[in-house]
Structure 1
Amino acid sequence: MARICITDGVPAEGIEALRTAGNEVITWDGQEPPTREQLLAHVKGADAVLTVLSDGVDEEFIAAAGPQLKVVANIAAGFNNIDLDACRAHGIVATVTPGTLFDAVADLAFGLMLSVTRRMGEGERLIRAGKPWRYRTTFMLGRSIETKSIGLIGAGQIGTAMAQRCKAFGMDVFYAQEHPMREPARSELDAKGLSVDELVAHCDVISLHCPLTPETHHIINAERLASMKQGSYLINTARGACVDEKALVAALQSGHLGGAGLDVYEHEPAIEPELLTMENVALLPHLGSANIETRTAMTALAAKNALEVLAGRAAPTPVPGL
């Protein structure tokens, strides 16, 4: 019987297989996520840990768990919270949950784009504040996305799903050649590749769907924000640190950008305070994959990864290259 720790609340259906297999499953039932001290105590003695993006899996974490730790199963498509070198050094398998959340995240990214271009959040805030209003032909005009161009930085499963939604709404699809779109989607969507610099200068909307790596940290910086089209929009459902948030604030304050839709933040959960006061910014609390069906599927895949490794078999979805 293995000891399997889960570091935060998850859908119960997602971990049913862990208990069915006869393991000792230690869940976190607190009203709030564990503090770092609580997390390290929680994983002590674990053979497998199901982690979330806010868990820093590093040497300290591995030492707290103990030498019997065999697998860290991240309930996420990304893995920037995991020290892969530390895992390699200790013979620990790290896994992720790709293929489970691309539709959910693309739905949210598309929703953010509609929200900020059509001023939905601003309109709802006006209504909820009880401010006077009446229908006029010039009242709270937004921007249409039809015939506009979407530029994807990251055209994997999530980026491609976003492109499919944009194409259905009559948008022209472009992608960064540094993060290319695969066939047959590229041909089916008539998607065209540009360099990142060309992409940000050409497209009406830039949407980020890339992983956070040293190369993509601040891939949207002050220079690239300045090169974006006047009145264009930025959507980020990838990782907050892919965007220089202070530079984004400056670009919005100057009026150069039309707006931004953000689900992730550079210093999450902290947010640049100026963003909170801007009517042309749609803000969400990292809800990209947050629907019941998707989070259940993610948890179930993480559980399967853990069970396979504990049984001495290869993980179905290990971190690429690990």
Structure 2
Amino acid sequence: MRILADKNIPLAEEFFGNYGEIVRVPGREINAAHVRDVDIVLARSITRVDQALLEGSKVRFVGTATIGTDHVDVDWLRANNIGFANAPGCNADSVVDYVLSSLLLLTEEEGCRLRDKTVGIVGAGNVGKRLHERLIDLDINCLICDPPRAEAEGRKDFLSLDALIERADVICMHTPLIRQGEHATYHLLDRERIQTLRAGQILISAGRGACVDNTALRERLERKHDLRVVLDVWENEPAIDQALYALVDIATPHIAGYSLDGKMRGTEMVYQAVCRHFGLPIRCKLGQLKPEPWLRRLVLSGWAPPLEALSTCVRACYDVRRDVLGFDRYQRRLGMAQGFDAYRAEYPTRREFSTLRLELKRNAGELRETLESFGFNIKLANK
């Protein structure tokens, strides 16, 4: 078989090398000529996979090593008997790490504790659910809005979006992009809702860019720069609104889920789907291929202040400011659109909180609970 893979998909050769020739192409450059004579396409979110790309090709299977599928015309694939798989949940922990690192930074700048905030989570899928679990473990008050799940599961504890906006100090957007229907999420946070946001509220968007009306958000910030805003996803990527970019507190180029661990998980999930589709044996497992992190462990004294220790461990593993500064450097050198793509393509290695082992004394009760809640791997010393 011939396999075309996005240049930024890790471990493609290790997982798929035994099944055929692998051709690497940057995601935004993949076109109909590239796929004409291949059997499998392995894509990421920046490649539009539809009739225009695939018609007349030999492609029998498409895999996207991402959670989202709005860049893939799944109906057209199904109608043309082309297999398909995505990787739901593969980078959910990475996105949660990004959100927590951002929240920790903003609350430190404000001189308050994260535990003093009420966090509203919009979308209780893979990311929203895991974010909720970690925040609850930290004893942080959480609100959830997810109308489809509320209807399907009869959840009375879920709120409407407007009720959540009214009560939350932090609003985290983690919905898929749905353009039509009763539960459409396109511009879910629209002009009217953006105007109702209270001064000092924190808005974090790390799901899909078009779920927030970027123009309305820019106009609100230009008129009253009274919100704290974290944007990892944007409308019209990579040619994003440069004026909005300049107004937000934390601006990154769609990299919240870009941990090496999340990417590798996505590759493995698509590999398993390919094997099932073609009746091939599953010979590789991620545990055999995953590299060790360069920062493997930290040793903490039992008397370390929990919040200060948490800040140290988070920044040792993943400090969101690195991506803010990196993106700024790239866009100033290359321009916004080219800098957006270039930073993603050359993204520095990042590992998830769970890859860092923290060694503690057995009597470090509150410290242990705090660090475990953030997702770190805890090892208790014998003495």
The whole-number CA distance in structure 2 between the counterparts of 1:178 and 1:283 is 28
Identify unmatched segments of 5+ residues in structure 2: 282-383
Is the deviation greater in 208-217 or in 96-105? 96-105
Deviates more, 1:52-61 or 1:290-299: 290-299
Distance 2:122 2:188 in 1: 9
Q: Which residue of 2 aligns with 1:90?
A: 80
Q: Which residue of 2 aligns with 1:18?
A: 16
Q: 1:177 & 1:285 partners in 2: Cα distance?
A: 26
**3-state SS, counterpart of residue 204 of structure 2:** strand
1:208 aligned onto 2:206: no
Structure 1 residue 35, shift from structure 2 partner: 4.7
Q: How do 1:2-151 residues align onto structure 2 when only pairs under 5 Å count?
A: 2-12=1-11, 14-20=12-18, 22-28=19-25, 33=26, 35-36=28-29, 38-63=30-55, 66=57, 68-119=58-109, 141-151=110-120
Q: Confirm whether residue 154 of structure 1 aligns to residue 107 of structure 2.
A: no
Distance in 2, Cα, partners of 1:52 & 1:143: 38
Work out whether 1:224 is the aligned partner of 2:206.
no
Q: Deviations over 1:31-76 (max 9, x none)?
A: xx3554x532221212111111011011111115x1x322110110
2:202 and 2:13 mapped to 1: Cα distance? Answer: 39
Q: Which consecutive aligned stretches of 4+ in structure 1 deviate over 6 angstroms post-superposition?
A: none
Identity %: 28
**Counterpart Cα distance in 2 of 1:85 and 1:114:** 41
Matches within 5 A, 1:281-296: 281-296=249-264
Give the whole-Å Cα distance in 2 for the aligned partners of 1:50 and 1:177. 31
For the aligned residue pairs, the C-alpha RMSD in angstroms reads 2.6
Partners of 1:81 and 1:243 in 2: CA distance = 18
Does the Cα contact within 8 Å between 1:176 and 1:194 map onto a contact in 2? yes
Distance 1:229 1:180, change over 3 A: farther
User: Residue 220 of structure 2 corresponds to which residue in structure 1?
Assistant: 251
The offset of 1:143, in angstroms, is 4.5
TM score, norm. by length of structure 1: 0.78
Q: Residues 92 and 262 of structure 2 are in contact (CA less than 8 Å); yes or no, is this contact kept in structure 1?
A: no
- The 2-side partners of 1:195 and 1:246 are apart by 24
Q: Please say if residues 239 and 265 of structure 1, whose CA atoms lie closer than 8 Å, have aligned partners that are also in contact.
A: yes
Q: Tell me if structure 2 keeps the 8 A contact 1:151–1:200.
A: yes
* Structure 1 residue matching 2:55: 3-state secondary structure: helix
CA separation of 1:117 and 1:258: change in aligned 2, threshold 3 A:
farther
Give aligned pairs, total.
276
Q: Deviations over 1:245-281 (max 9, x none)?
A: 0111122233374211111111111222222322x52
Moved more, 70-79 or 82-91: 82-91
Q: Describe the superposition over 1:174-200 as per-residue Cα deviations: whole angstroms up to 9, x where unpaired.
A: 111415489xxx9xxxx9410112112
Structure with greater helix percent? 2
Work out which structure has the larger RCO, using CA pairs closer than 8 Å and 6 or more positions apart in sequence.
1
Secondary structure at the counterpart of residue 114 of structure 2: coil
User: Is the partner of 1:207 in helix, strand or coil?
Assistant: strand
Equivalent AA in structure 2 for residue 6 of structure 1 = A
